């Protein structure tokens, strides 16, 4: 109990600190005093700074929080549903679906003449293509989930979807121009900074619905820790619960992938991190802890990715894995048994 209380207190203070650090660092140096002024809606001494904070850094920080927490929660849901520590938000093939959508748009799209060219590469059409891709995969997975009773079969079906779409993307890449290929690769690096407020609010709507749906399944997730037979004997509606979990994950991971690209690693790593530190399996504790830790981790990764003081931004996808993977390996080697 005490560990948990400490975790939440230190966690929330760290989160607030990280949020301010994230906003105050970037390619343009803005004095801390000015940042506080701007955030409290006072006149800043430089209008450009105000613009940078409100139109670039603030939406980016909010996106980081949404992405980190959303992926962490969907990873948690998947790990418990599939009773598999390797499951993550993308096991259902959502990111592959999104990749396929974007690949089709960028690479196959160019075959249909240059008429649409300018339209095609705008950020909105990428979001649309990516959502459409994940949505189609989601429909396929949900249809399978309704038909196939075995939870493990769904996991394998998700992996097969990923292989299948991966193959299609490979074929598309083989036939496309270097320029288009580069564009696709840049998308697959992931990016938190390209969203305006309108897009951020749309993303946060999906995020909020996803989190609420996830909240409704927490009691059942606890029962599922004993396996499906016990869960059913405790009154859990297994199929309905599975449906809600898949829907919540798809909403969270799907919308995040659409707006920020496929962000690897956070979804698998954060639930592990949380479980190691808290040493418990009660989802009513793991859920808020995952939200907090996911947000914090994403803010750190984003702060590093933008290489404060320089004008370069590293691919966020590389940073999450580069810094996160060693941490998880370190945490897991410290204890004897891998837990779900």
Partner 1 sequence: MPKKTVLHTENLSIGYKNKKIASVNDFFLEESDFVAVIGINGAGKSTLLNTLTGNLPPIHGDIKINKRSLQKFSLQERAKEISIVLSKTEILTPLTVTEVIALGRQPYTNWIGKLSSLDKEIIKKSLKQLDIEFLQNSYCNQLSDGQLQKVMLARAVAQDTSLIFLDEPTAHLDLYHKIYVLKLLKDLTKKTKKTIVFASHEIDLCLQLCDKIILVKNNQVFLETPENLIKKNHLSELFPENIVKFDKNLKKFTIL
Tracing tokens 């954060």 back to the chain, one arrives at: 270
Closest approach of partner 1 to the CB of residue 338, in Å: 9
Q: Which stretch binds partner 1 (CB under 8 A): 8-16, 179-187, 275-283, 315-323?
A: 275-283
**Candidate residues 171, 234, 327, 329; the one interacting with partner 1 per rule CB under 8 A:** 234
Percent helix, strand and coil across the chain, each rounded to 5? Answer: 75, 0, 25
Measured from the CB atom, the residue of 130 and 236 that comes closer to partner 1 is: 236
**Candidate residues 95, 134, 183, 236; the one interacting with partner 1 per rule CB under 8 A:** 236
Tell me the C-alpha distance between 61 and 260, whole Å: 12
Closest approach of partner 1 to the CB of residue 282, in Å: 7
Task: Say if residues 52 and 40 touch (Cβ distance below 8 Å).
Answer: no
By CB under 8 A, is residue 225 in contact with partner 1?
A: yes
**Candidate residues 40, 114, 229, 333; the one interacting with partner 1 per rule CB under 8 A:** 229
Contact mark string toward partner 1, 298..317, x via CB under 8 A = --------------------
Q: Which stretch binds partner 1 (CB under 8 A): 6-14, 49-57, 99-107, 273-281?
A: 273-281
By CB under 8 A, is residue 39 in contact with partner 1?
A: no
Q: 227's torsion region: left (phi>0), alpha (psi -120 to 50) or beta?
A: left
Closest approach of partner 1 to the CB of residue 80, in Å: 8
Q: Which stretch binds partner 1 (CB under 8 A): 148-156, 158-166, 222-230, 290-298?
A: 222-230
DSSP states of 97-158 as a string?
HHHHHHHIIIIIGGGG-SSSHHHHTSHHHHHHHHHHHHHHHHHHHHHHHHH---HHHHHHHH
**Candidate residues 4, 121, 173, 281; the one interacting with partner 1 per rule CB under 8 A:** 281
Tell me the C-alpha distance between 166 and 133, whole Å: 13
Measured from the CB atom, the residue of 72 and 301 that comes closer to partner 1 is: 72
By CB under 8 A, is residue 222 in contact with partner 1?
A: yes
Q: 84's torsion region: left (phi>0), alpha (psi -120 to 50) or beta?
A: beta
Cα-Cα end-to-end distance for the chain? 20
Task: Say if residues 222 and 283 touch (Cβ distance below 8 Å).
Answer: yes
By CB under 8 A, is residue 83 in contact with partner 1?
A: yes
By CB under 8 A, is residue 216 in contact with partner 1?
A: yes
If binding means CB under 8 A, how many residues of this protein chain bind partner 1? 26
Query: Which residues have a Cβ under 8 Å from the Cβ of 257 and sit 6 or more positions away?
Result: 94, 95, 98, 130, 134, 263
List residues binding partner 1 (CB under 8 A): 83, 216, 218-219, 222-223, 225-227, 229-230, 232-237, 275, 279-282, 284, 337, 339-340
């Amino acid at each position: 109990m005490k560990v948990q209380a400490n975790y939440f207190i230190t966690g929330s203070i760290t989160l607030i600190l990280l949020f301010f650090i994230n906003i105050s660092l970037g390619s343009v140096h803005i004095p801390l005093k000015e940042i506080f002024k701007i955030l409290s809606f006072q006149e800043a001494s430089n209008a450009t700074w105000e613009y940078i904070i409100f139109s670039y850094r603030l939406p980016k920080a909010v996106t980081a929080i949404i992405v980190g927490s959303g992926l962490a929660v969907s990873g948690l849901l998947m790990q418990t549903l599939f009773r598999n520590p390797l499951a993550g938000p993308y096991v259902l093939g959502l990111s592959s679906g999104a990749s396929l959508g974007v690949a089709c748009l960028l690479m196959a799209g160019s075959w249909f003449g240059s008429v649409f060219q300018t339209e095609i590469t705008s950020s909105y059409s990428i979001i649309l293509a990516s959502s459409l891709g994940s949505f189609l995969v989601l429909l396929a997975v949900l249809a399978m989930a309704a038909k196939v009773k075995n939870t493990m079969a769904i996991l394998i079906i998700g992996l097969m979807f990923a292989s299948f779409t991966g193959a299609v993307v490979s074929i598309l890449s083989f036939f496309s121009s270097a320029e288009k290929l580069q564009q696709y690769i840049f998308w697959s690096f992931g990016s938190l900074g390209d969203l305006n407020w309108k897009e951020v609010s749309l993303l946060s709507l999906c995020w909020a619905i996803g989190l609420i749906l996830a909240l409704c399944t927490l009691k059942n997730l606890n029962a599922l820790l004993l396996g499906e037979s016990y869960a059913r004997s405790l009154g859990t509606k297994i199929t309905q619960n599975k449906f809600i979990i898949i829907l919540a994950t798809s909403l969270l991971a799907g919308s995040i992938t659409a707006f920020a690209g496929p962000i690897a690693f956070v979804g698998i790593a954060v639930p592990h991190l949380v479980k190691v530190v808290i040493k418990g399996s009660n989802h009513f504790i793991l859920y808020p802890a995952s939200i907090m830790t996911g947000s914090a981790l994403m803010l750190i990764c984003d702060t590093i990715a933008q290489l404060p003081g320089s004008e370069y931004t590293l691919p966020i996808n590389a940073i999450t894995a580069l810094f996160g993977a060693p941490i998880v390996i370190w945490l897991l080697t410290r204890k004897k048994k891998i837990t779900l």
